[in-house]
Amino acid sequence: MRVTDRLLAHKDKMTPSERQLVSVLLDDYPMAGLGSITELASAASVSTTTVARMLQKTGFQGYPQFQAALRGEVKEMISGPVAKRDLWQNDLPEEHILNRYSQQTLANQKRTIDEVDPDEFDSFCNLLCDPNRRIFITGGRITGTLAQYLYLHLQMIRPDVRLLPVAASWTHDLLDVRKDDVLVALDVRRYENASLLIGQLCHEREAEIVLFTDQWRSPIHRLAKHTFAARIAVPSAWDSMAAILVLMECVIAEVQERLWDSVKERTDELEQAFDRTKLFRKFGQSSGS
């Protein structure tokens, strides 16, 4: 289990001071736990005894073991493709790639969906359905393709959806961000500086931020109203975005259903435009027509 999983799994059994300590750890995770035990206790306004007692409740033998687990997670967060492959290569099962890769991907999807709070999911969909809010979407070097996918669907579903391009021109788009707009950000390990800056600037403009990230959580989570953490590790040099895609498609399906009357009107207009531009081939259409 991740350190955050351990902390949250035992939070209901903790004292108020221990829960306060957990909140401090999660607000600046994992950096808050990488200093001395005295520094952590001071940051949370609790005693070092409280820190030790909380760690014991969550299954750690002491502060050194806790920090070792945190350092292991930090190493995973910043791992490049070569390091990821080396990690998997040491312990690959003897079966075809179709089996070992797909099984891990399916397991990632199941665990990701199991860990989503339905109330938080519904709250996010409420934001997307609010006609008074404009939606801005941003992704990074790899997640930009997912951002494009979400943008195309939400743009068909409702007006006032904008994709922030990876190029420097995104700064122009931020001029239009106002209070209560929504920024949907996608950011997975090795977290990108531009994505964090976009999140910070939108937060300063009082926009609501929703983050799709991995199990280690992008630094943007400290600014986000909602964070959806997906499992992305697979037996490969590159991470799998399949779990994030499934979660986004759940969002798309829910929002289009809630707004179906207006969605149908927009879709009908869009299909008429497709017909006029001959974008799609019709059955029975000759190659010369």
Higher per-residue confidence, 288 vs 186: 186
CA distances in angstroms from 69 to 8, 64, 173, listed in the order given? 16, 9, 40
CA nearest 21: which of 63, 77, 75, 68?
63
* Section 243-265 average pLDDT: 97
What the block records as the tokens of 122 is 């519904």
Residue 21 burial (CB count, 10 A): 26
The predicted pLDDT at position 289 comes to 46
User: Is the separation of the CB atoms in 231 and 112 below 8 Å?
Assistant: yes
Report the Cα 13 to chain-centroid distance in Å: 28
Q: How far apart are CA 266 and CA 259, in angstroms?
A: 11
Name the strand (E) or helix (H) holding 255: helix 242-258
**What digits encode the pLDDT tens for the residues 137-176?**
999 999 999 999 999 999 999 999 999 987 667 888 899 9
Q: What are phi and psi of 95, to 5 degrees?
A: -150, 165
Which residues does 17 contact at the CB level (< 8 Å), separation at least 6?
46, 50
Average pLDDT, the chain: 89
pLDDT of 55 over the 70 cut: yes
**What digits encode the pLDDT tens for the residues 9-44?**
888 889 999 999 998 888 888 888 989 999 999 999
**What digits encode the pLDDT tens for the residues 98-140?**
888 899 999 999 999 999 999 999 999 999 999 999 999 999 9
Give the whole-number percent of the chain exceeding pLDDT 90.
64
Give the whole-number percent of the chain exceeding pLDDT 70.
90
**What digits encode the pLDDT tens for the residues 193-231?**
999 999 999 999 999 999 999 988 899 998 999 999 999
Q: What are phi and psi of 144, to 5 degrees?
A: -60, -30
The fold for domain 1-78 equals Arc Repressor Mutant, subunit A (1.10.10)
User: Is the separation of the CB atoms in 33 and 67 below 8 Å?
Assistant: yes
Sequence ranges of the domains in the chain? 1-78, 111-276
Q: What are phi and psi of 92, to 5 degrees?
A: -90, 135
* Section 240-253 average pLDDT: 97
The predicted pLDDT at position 216 comes to 85
Name the strand (E) or helix (H) holding 138: strand 135-138
CA nearest 196: which of 176, 224, 215, 169?
224
Buried b (16+ CB within 10 A) or exposed e, 224-257: bbbbbbbbbbbbbbebbbbbbbbbbeebbebbbe
What's the DSSP call for residue 162? E
Residue 200 burial (CB count, 10 A): 15
Does domain 111-276 correspond to CATH entry 3.40.50.10490?
A: yes
pLDDT of 286 over the 60 cut: no
CA nearest 224: which of 99, 120, 142?
120
Name the strand (E) or helix (H) holding 82: helix 81-89
